């Protein structure tokens, strides 16, 4: 079976109107995406952010009459808008698994490998983490996750109690456990993240040291290390709570911060933490702090 996919690039203000038109013309699904390279990092659940230049994609049954569809779109929208219209035929496949095709084992630091289910890098040794993010964030391909994994690989994790705040796929907590953490506590306000973390914990045989916390709760005793790859604004808001979860002398690893936001985050944490200079990858930074 095949599908007809239609893309139309339009400005933010018109995107919802185009989406509605696609729905009315019989689209089975409509998605909105970035038409340029201006990522929106981690919208809150239920939030519908839009890019200044938005690609509206409609998926139609493969037997749709393309000429008639084009004509109806041309009639409904003015020529300025429909100039950016493109159509393609898609062969049927298991869409939610296609990311696996391009996902090869990736090494972070000296020994940490993130592997898509069951795959191993040929002839390499190290610490292997089998990962299937499902619908959650966290494969290692984003610079913020990569920075955190490299930090974990380069630091002593053995015997530590770790809190992974905003665990996504569970990638950081599972890496910490595989590197010797005694216990990892994870939380996330997205239920799909908790489910992916649970499944990845089982897959990696670390469930006995992986503690999934209820939304709004924190570990009962202060931990030795906090990993929080979220967003600058959220990290700033969370500072008092995170400071309360970390023992004096413990480390906090903050990521999900754009380089231009570093100063604001450092300032917000300076009261309770000795902050290190940011480490940068592409536009993103990781900032380490030591609890005073």
Ligand X SMILES: C[S@@+](CC[C@H](N)C(=O)[O-])C[C@H]1O[C@@H](n2cnc3c(N)ncnc32)[C@H](O)[C@@H]1O
Residues making contact with ligand X (CB under 6 A): 42, 136-138, 145, 148, 164, 166-168, 171-172, 187-190, 193, 229-230, 234, 256
Report the candidate in 278, 196, 268 with the shortest Cα–Cα distance to residue 233: 268
The residue (of 54 and 145) whose beta carbon lies closer to ligand X is 145
Q: How far is the CB of 43 from ligand X (least distance, A)?
A: 9
Between 57 and 197, name the residue whose CB sits nearer to ligand X: 197
Our CB check for ligand X shows the closer of 24 and 260 to be: 260
In the beta sheet, which residues pair with residue 128?
113
CA angle at residue 171 from 193 to 257, to 5 degrees?
Answer: 85
- Residue whose C-alpha is closest to residue 223's, from 182, 172, 264, 265: 182
Whole-number minimum distance, CB 107 to ligand X, in Å? 16
Pairing of the two strands 210-212 and 183-187? parallel
CB of 265 to ligand X, least distance (A): 15
Three-class SS state of 263 = helix
Which is closer to ligand X, CB of 21 or CB of 173? 173
| Count of residues making up the chain | 292
Compute the least distance from the CB of residue 166 to ligand X, in Å.
2
Question: 3 vs 284, which CB is nearer to ligand X?
Answer: 284
As measured in angstroms, the least distance from the Cβ of 133 to ligand X is: 8
Residue nearer to ligand X on the CB measure, 73 or 190: 190
Query: How far, CA to CA in Å, does 169 sit from each of 118, 140, 172, 283?
Result: 16, 10, 8, 22
CB of 171: closest distance to ligand X in angstroms? Answer: 5
Radius of gyration over every alpha carbon of the chain, rounded to an integer in angstroms: 22
29: phi then psi, degrees, rounded to nearest 5: -155, 150
* 143 neighbors 280 (Cβ within 8 angstroms): no
- Helix ranges (DSSP H) in 155-289: 171-178, 191-203, 232-245, 262-269
Give the sheet arrangement for strand 112-116, strand by strand. 106-108, 112-116, 127-131
Of 153 and 188, which CB lies nearer to ligand X in the complex structure? 188
């Amino acid at each position: 079976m095949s599908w007809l996919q239609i893309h139309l690039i339009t400005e933010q203000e018109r995107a919802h109107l185009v989406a509605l038109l696609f729905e009315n013309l019989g689209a089975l699904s409509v998605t909105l995406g970035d038409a340029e390279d201006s990522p929106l990092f981690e919208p809150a659940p239920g939030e519908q952010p839009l890019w200044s230049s938005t690609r509206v994609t409609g998926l139609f049954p493969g037997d749709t009459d393309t000429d008639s569809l084009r004509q109806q779109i041309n009639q409904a929208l003015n020529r300025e808008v429909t100039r950016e219209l493109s159509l393609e035929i898609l062969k049927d496949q298991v869409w939610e698994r296609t990311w696996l095709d391009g996902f090869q084992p990736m090494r972070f630091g000296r020994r940490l490998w993130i592997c898509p289910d069951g795959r191993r890098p040929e002839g390499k040794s190290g610490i292997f983490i089998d990962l299937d993010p499902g619908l959650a964030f966290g494969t290692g391909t984003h610079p913020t996750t990569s920075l955190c994994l490299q930090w974990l690989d380069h630091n002593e994790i053995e015997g530590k109690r770790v809190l992974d705040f905003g665990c996504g796929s569970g990638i950081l907590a599972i890496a910490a456990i595989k590197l010797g953490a005694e216990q990892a506590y994870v939380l996330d306000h997205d239920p799909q993240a908790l489910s992916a973390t649970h499944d990845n914990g089982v897959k990696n045989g670390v469930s006995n040291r992986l503690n999934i916390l209820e939304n709004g709760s924190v570990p009962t005793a202060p931990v030795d290390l906090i990993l929080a790859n979220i967003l600058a604004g959220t990290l700033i808001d969370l500072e008092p709570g995170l400071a309360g979860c970390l023992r004096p002398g413990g480390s906090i690893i903050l990521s999900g911060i754009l380089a231009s936001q570093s100063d604001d985050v450092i300032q917000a944490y300076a009261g309770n933490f000795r902050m290190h200079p940011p480490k940068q990858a592409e536009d993103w930074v990781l900032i380490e702090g030591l609890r005073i």
